[in-house]
Amino acid sequence: MFIVYILGFVLALGLALGLTPLVKRFAIKVGAVDVPNARKVHTRIMPRLGGLGIFLAFVIALLAVMPFLPFDLSERDGNFIKAFLTAGTIIVLTGALDDRFDLNAKLKFLIQTGAACVVVFGFGIKVEFVNIPFMDAYSSLENWIAIPLTIFWIVGVTNAVNLIDGLDGLAAGVSGIAIGTILVMALINGNFLVALLCLLLLGGIVGFLFFNFHPAKIFMGDTGSLFLGFSLAMLSLLGFKQIAVLSFITPLIIIGVPLSDTFFAIVRRKLQKKPIFAPDKGHLHHCLRELGFSHRQTVLIIYGIAAFFGVLAVIQSASAMFEASWVTFVVICIMMFFMQIGAEVIGLVGQTKRPVLQLLARLRPKPEDQAKP
Q: How many domains does the chain have?
A: 1
- Model confidence at 243, pLDDT cuts 50, 70, 90, reads very low
Q: Check whether 22 has a pLDDT greater than 90.
A: yes
362 inside domain: no
Q: Check whether 323 has a pLDDT greater than 60.
A: no
186 inside domain: yes
Q: What is the pLDDT, as a whole number, of residue 162?
A: 82
Strands 46-47 and 129-131: unpaired
Average pLDDT over every residue of 55-79? 91
Longest dimension (CA), the chain: 80
Instruction: Report the SS3 class of residue 131.
Output: strand
Q: Check whether 137 has a pLDDT greater than 60.
A: no
pTM summary value: 0.83
Domain range holding 44? 2-352
Average pLDDT over every residue of 8-23? 97
Q: What is the pLDDT, as a whole number, of residue 357?
A: 58
Q: What is the pLDDT, as a whole number, of residue 118?
A: 97
Average pLDDT over every residue of 10-23? 97
360 inside domain: no
Task: Please tell me the least confidently modeled range out of 13-17, 37-41, 144-148, 308-312.
Answer: 37-41
- Model confidence at 369, pLDDT cuts 50, 70, 90, reads low
Q: What is the pLDDT, as a whole number, of residue 241?
A: 46
Average pLDDT over every residue of 63-74? 88
Q: What is the pLDDT, as a whole number, of residue 69?
A: 86
126 inside domain: yes
The total number of residues shown for the chain amounts to: 373
Q: What is the pLDDT, as a whole number, of residue 262?
A: 75
367 inside domain: no
Which residue in 194, 298, 205 sits closest to 251, CA to CA?
194
Residue 373 forms beta bridges with which residues? none
Alpha-carbon span 141 to 139, nearest angstrom: 6
Residue with more model confidence, 140 or 62: 62
358 inside domain: no
Q: Check whether 301 has a pLDDT greater than 50.
A: yes
Contact 52, 223 (CB under 8 A): yes
307 inside domain: yes
- Model confidence at 242, pLDDT cuts 50, 70, 90, reads very low
Q: What is the pLDDT, as a whole number, of residue 289?
A: 77
357 inside domain: no
Q: What is the pLDDT, as a whole number, of residue 269?
A: 73
Average pLDDT over every residue of 252-262? 76
Residue with more model confidence, 61 or 333: 61
Task: Examine residue 36 and say whether the peptide bond preceding it is cis (omega within 30 degrees of 0).
Answer: no
